[in-house]
């Protein structure tokens, strides 16, 4: 399998489309708002399906967090709670791009934040999550694509995932072979 040149906005959009049914209003909460702020990105040498999996994780986790808050609140209370996921893309430095996926949810305590990329770590019940998502996302970004995946979060302030990727990765291919 070889890396191909891909438009990451298309990948983000198709991932959001897959999650569309989960963003809709339900009996517990109003619809979750998506705000897209796309910059001018070059195409990126990558494995697009793997990166879509990376985008899926923070997006699905944000929805899960909103659902969790909604389960512990009344619909009336949820009407006044902002539930927004912002996706921002920008070129940064000389040959890198950055994708930020931020929610204005409840944020994470430090004990959770420090472990979210650990293999098998999850805050969800056994029926809801394996704890593999972010560990795999971290591996896809750093090992397979030579980038970085970081999280910034504050309790009560929401969570932001920052994905940084080099634009042209032919040189990375020779260093990281799976």
Q: What's the token pair of residue 176?
A: 């990281």
| Main-chain phi, psi angles of 136, to 5 degrees | -70, -40
CA distance 67 to 45: 35
* 87 has pLDDT over 70: yes
Range name among 64-68, 87-91, 93-97, 122-126 with the lowest pLDDT average: 122-126
Q: Is the dihedral of CA 20, 24, 26, 32 positive or negative?
A: positive
Q: Is pLDDT at 178 greater than 80 in this prediction? A: no
Q: How far apart are CA 48 and CA 9, in angstroms?
A: 11
Q: What tokens were used for 78?
A: 């949820």
Is the pLDDT at 54 greater than 60, yes or no?
yes
- State the Cα–Cα distance between residues 144 and 147, nearest whole angstrom: 8
pLDDT at residue 125 in the model: 55
Give the CA angle between residues 161, 137, 109 to the nearest 5°: 45
Q: What is the pLDDT averaged over residues 27-34?
A: 92
pLDDT confidence band for 126 (50 / 70 / 90):
low
pLDDT of residue 171: 43
d(CA 54, CA 43): 17
94 or 99: whose pLDDT is higher? 99
8-19 mean pLDDT: 96
d(CA 3, CA 173): 8
This prediction's pTM: 0.86
Percent with pLDDT over 70 in the chain: 87
């Amino acid at each position: 399998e070889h890396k191909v040149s891909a438009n990451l906005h298309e990948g983000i959009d198709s991932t959001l489309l897959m999650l569309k049914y989960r963003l809709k209003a339900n009996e517990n909460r109003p619809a979750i708002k998506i705000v897209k702020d796309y910059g001018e990105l070059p195409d990126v040498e990558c494995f697009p399906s793997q990166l879509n999996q990376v985008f899926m994780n923070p997006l699905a986790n944000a929805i899960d967090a909103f659902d969790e808050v909604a389960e512990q609140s009344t619909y009336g209370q949820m009407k006044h709670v902002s539930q927004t996921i912002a996706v921002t893309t920008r070129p940064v430095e000389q040959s890198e791009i950055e994708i930020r996926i931020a929610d204005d949810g409840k944020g994470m305590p430090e004990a959770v934040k420090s472990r979210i990329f650990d293999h098998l770590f999850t805050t969800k019940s056994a029926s809801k999550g394996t704890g593999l998502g972010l560990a795999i996302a971290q591996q896809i970004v750093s090992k397979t694509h030579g980038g970085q995946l970081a999280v910034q979060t504050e309790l009560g302030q929401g969570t932001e995932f920052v994905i940084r990727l080099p634009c042209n990765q032919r040189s990375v291919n020779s260093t990281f072979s799976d």
